[in-house]
Amino acid sequence: MSIASPRLPLDGIVIADFSRVLAGPLAASTLADLGARVIKVERPDVGDDTRSWGPPWTSEGAAYFQSANRNKESLTLDLTDEVDRAVARRLAARADVFIENFRTGALDRFGLGYEQVRADNPGIVYCSITGFGSGPGAELPGYDFLVQALGGLMSITGASDDRGGEPTKVGVALVDVLAAKDATTGILAALLQRGASATGQRVEVNLLSSLLAGLVNQASSFLTTGKAPSRMGNAHPSIAPYELLTCRDGALAIACGNDGQFRKLAVVLGEERLADDPRFATNAARVQNRSAMTYALERLLAAKTADEWASHLSAAGVPAGKVGTIADGFALAEMLGLRPLVEVGGGLPAQVRNPVAFSDTPITNYAPPPRLGQHSDDVRRWLSEEETP
């Protein structure tokens, strides 16, 4: 007797993904990893904007698109066409979740606004992702780079003014990623609530709010002092040493989260007396005397290479390591047995494994991102069958 494969957490959940670019598609892709059936609605002949965002390219198109659209089906619909609008409304009526990131109110004219969809489908969890909310900021363009600038993230990222730095964006569309994770959390919570109430609700996420929430301690610092934090390069405003320090041949990341780790650092460097120096004995003192601390540490670190110090410090329990490339990050994960990559087939490059591991319902299915309109006929047929008495 064969043992059935375990059901994934979201088996049976149908998601109508009307979103494009990154935040919405990434949320939908995450839910697809968890077992939901995700039907991605795209414009005929054009598709999601990111299908053309290259280089680099894979055999199936832009690598950017591939990053946020696996495990989905692609249905092409022209919402200005009456027949296609009817198909879109049938899909919304059958779905458990509806994800969109159109301009506020734009879907209303197609009969796909929240109130319109809810009238036909009271159990719908309708997730709207905007740049700046549905109020006075509804008309502002919601681009990650712009939100990083307006929301303050760039003001605390990069070298300080005295080192000739300028406000700098994070090296990935972090605000979109944060919003995607917030949307995923909101959708899952609404689905859980629906299980108790049998009714759905609207979930709203905007990039600016996700950014502000993602500022965590920096936001709390501002709200506590009334003073906006400034750029500090790789230094931490509340912990020291928690930054890059220069060794004989380059930089080393050292992250001492407590006084005990600092003492271990001093011992390995051969200067335990640093840990007893009143200027450095406590974290608060080290933050206050950061320049003197940095000078003292780098004078000692100059005796060896970053690799040598990383080895000695790690062995002593001091968090330390060289700055690696993305390739180094994947190599480290492989070495630690984290299995960071998965194959999606179709001759496409490997992708990053979903970071959540389940003991009883492991994620095992990773299907390649769909070609534009690849599943249109199948989805239309399925929707017609659903209407059959």
Say which CATH number the domain at 302 has: 3.30.1540.10
Residues 287, 141, single domain; the answer is no
Cis omega (within 30 of 0) for bond into 6: no
Residues 138, 189, single domain; the answer is yes
**pLDDT reported for residue 7:** 87
pLDDT tens sequence across 231-257? 999 999 999 999 999 999 999 999 999
Quickly state the pLDDT bin for 162 (edges 50, 70, 90): confident
Q: Is residue 235 part of a domain?
A: no
pLDDT tens sequence across 254-300? 999 999 999 999 999 999 999 999 999 999 999 999 999 999 999 99
Q: Is residue 93 part of a domain?
A: yes
Mean of pLDDT values over 140-168: 93
Residues 193, 288, single domain; the answer is no
**pLDDT reported for residue 164:** 84
**pLDDT reported for residue 5:** 52
Cross-strand bridge partners of residue 128 = 100, 204
Sign of the alpha-carbon torsion through 343, 49, 180, 380: negative
Cα–Cα dist 217/223, whole Å: 10
Tally of domains in the chain = 2
For residue 198, how many other CB atoms are within 10 A of its CB? Answer: 9
Active site residues: 176
Q: What does the CA dihedral 89, 90, 95, 97 come to, rounded to 10 degrees? A: -10
Which CATH number does the domain housing residue 161 bear?
3.40.50.10540
**pLDDT reported for residue 1:** 32
Quickly state the pLDDT bin for 387 (edges 50, 70, 90): low
Q: What does the CA dihedral 166, 167, 173, 179 come to, rounded to 10 degrees? A: 170
Longest dimension (CA), the chain: 83
Residues 327, 353, single domain; the answer is no
**pLDDT reported for residue 304:** 97
DSSP sequence for 251-313: EEEEE--SHHHHHHHHHHTT-GGGGGSTTTSSHHHHHHTHHHHHHHHHHHHTTS-HHHHHHHH
CB 50 within 8 A of CB 338: no
Angle between helices 207-214 and 216-225 in degrees, nearest 10: 80
Q: What does the CA dihedral 103, 176, 327, 55 come to, rounded to 10 degrees? A: 20
SS3 205: strand
Cα–Cα dist 12/24, whole Å: 20
For residue 276, how many other CB atoms are within 10 A of its CB? Answer: 10
DSSP sequence for 217-257: HHHHHHHHHS------TT--SS-SSEEEEE-SSSEEEEE--
Cα–Cα dist 15/29, whole Å: 10
pLDDT tens sequence across 11-33? 999 999 999 999 999 999 999 99
Mean of pLDDT values over 90-110: 96
Mean of pLDDT values over 303-319: 97
Mean pLDDT of the chain: 95
Q: Which range of residues forms the domain containing residue 269? A: 242-331
Q: Is residue 339 part of a domain?
A: no
**pLDDT reported for residue 386:** 59
Residues 202, 246, single domain; the answer is no
For residue 281, how many other CB atoms are within 10 A of its CB? Answer: 15
Q: Is residue 236 part of a domain?
A: no
